[in-house]
Amino acid sequence: MKHNLKLLLKRSRGFIFSVFAIFVIWMVSAMSETNRYRESFELCFDGIDTAKYAIMECDSVIEIDITSNGFQAFKRDRKKKSIHLDASPIVLSDKKLRQHKVNNGYEIVFNTEECLDSIRKQIDLRGVTEINPVNKQLKIRFAEREKRTFRPDISNVEFQFDGLAGLNGEPRVVPDSIVLYGSKASLDKIGSIHAQHQIVKDIYKSGTYQVSLEPVWEKFSDLRISTEKIKVYLPVERFIEKDVTLPVNVDKKDIGISSSMKLNLYPTHVTVTYLVPENEYSTINTDAFVVKAIKESDSSHYLRAIVSSFPSKAKVKDINPKKIQFIAIE
């Protein structure tokens, strides 16, 4: 029994050793095989002062065919790096840079064969026997950066006031000027800078509200903006609502009636509802309100009442009635 057990163990060890030997041979064979694969690297152009120049267009990726020994899976363990190409020898020389002038900017073309040594130094070459860049040329196009100033337009922003609160003065925008930086070609395509459409609700006191700008500059890769948001300060006042009854004035000539004709109006007076700041109530002179009737159409027998004049500190809210019937008599 013991003899048979020893024989069995001896044969098992022999089998395991054989399997292990086959595995080692397979591993060595696999690692000695030539593998070819393609890998992409992020491409960066160094030596271009982006404060002075706007990048209009450039190759952002370089693809390289790699030949190596060993499992192809080994390449996935490599830490990916960016490939950097140095443009400073050209950019820092006015004479050389002029040779690369194209239209309103500059274009630099790198031949990858001439840059092969530099590329090799930036790649993990462990187990690599050969590299061959797929891209034969790599380009970058840039232009001298200009700047242009715009006044932000906030007409797209709707301010809704709570109760009898209202705007008492003009909104103040900070900053009141927006600067765009980029190439002249791109700047020429921007006509104005507007705030994004938004509604600010329930405003009841003076305050500052942050507003985002419509990102029209994002359509152009070379444009940069001084700020993407602005602040709008609203001077808000609490108002008192008051009514005043006023006579309706009509210029016969304006409504096409002879001065010799008699004109009857129904009604002859209207009620104007107006708002006035609480602290300005005592200074309002109601004699400064003037109501005028104008003709809406030649075929209509009604005139429309409007407030043609009123104190600058008051806000007209309503007129009742708005329509005035008229009869002209010879």
The answer to whether residue 128 scores a pLDDT higher than 50 is yes
Q: 11 in a domain, yes or no?
A: no
pLDDT number for residue 211 = 94
Q: Name the residue range of residue 321's domain.
A: 240-329
Out of 193, 214, 234, pick the residue that ends a domain: 234
Output 22 or 258, whichever has higher pLDDT: 258
Per-residue confidence band for 68, with pLDDT thresholds at 50, 70 and 90: confident
pLDDT number for residue 41 = 92
Q: In terms of domains, do 137 and 152 share one?
A: no
Q: In terms of domains, do 45 and 125 share one?
A: yes
Q: 3 in a domain, yes or no?
A: no
Indicate the range of 26-35, 75-84, 155-164, 311-320 predicted with least confidence. Answer: 26-35
Indicate the range of 67-71, 233-237, 278-282 predicted with least confidence. Answer: 67-71
Output 233 or 277, whichever has higher pLDDT: 233
Return mean pLDDT, the chain. Answer: 84
In the 3-class helix/strand/coil scheme, how is the chain assigned residue by residue? CHHHHHHHHHHHHHHHHHHHHHHHHHHHHHHHCEEEEEEEEEEEEECCCCCCEEEEEECCEEEEEEEEECCHHHHHHCCCCCEEEECHHHHCCHHHHHCCEECCEEEEEEECCCCHHHHHHCCCCCCEEEEEECCCEEEEEEEECEEEEECCECCCEEEEECCCEEECCCCEEECCCEEEEECHHHHCCCCCCEECCEEEEEECCCEEEEEEECCHHHHCCCCEECCCEEEEEECEEEEEEEEEEEEEECCCCCCCCCCCCEEEEECCEEEEEEEEEHHHHHHCCHHHCEEEEEECCCCCCEEEEEEEECCCCCEEEEEECCEEEEEEEC
Q: 90 in a domain, yes or no?
A: yes
Q: In terms of domains, do 58 and 47 share one?
A: yes
Q: 21 in a domain, yes or no?
A: no
Q: 73 in a domain, yes or no?
A: yes
Q: In terms of domains, do 44 and 57 share one?
A: yes
Out of 234, 269, 296, pick the residue that ends a domain: 234
Q: How many domains does the chain have?
A: 3
pLDDT number for residue 77 = 45
pLDDT (average), residues 183-196: 93
CATH number at residue 277: 2.170.120.30
Indicate the range of 63-77, 149-163, 216-230 predicted with least confidence. Answer: 63-77
Q: In terms of domains, do 107 and 77 share one?
A: yes
Q: 65 in a domain, yes or no?
A: yes
Out of 234, 262, 283, pick the residue that ends a domain: 234
pLDDT (average), residues 256-282: 85
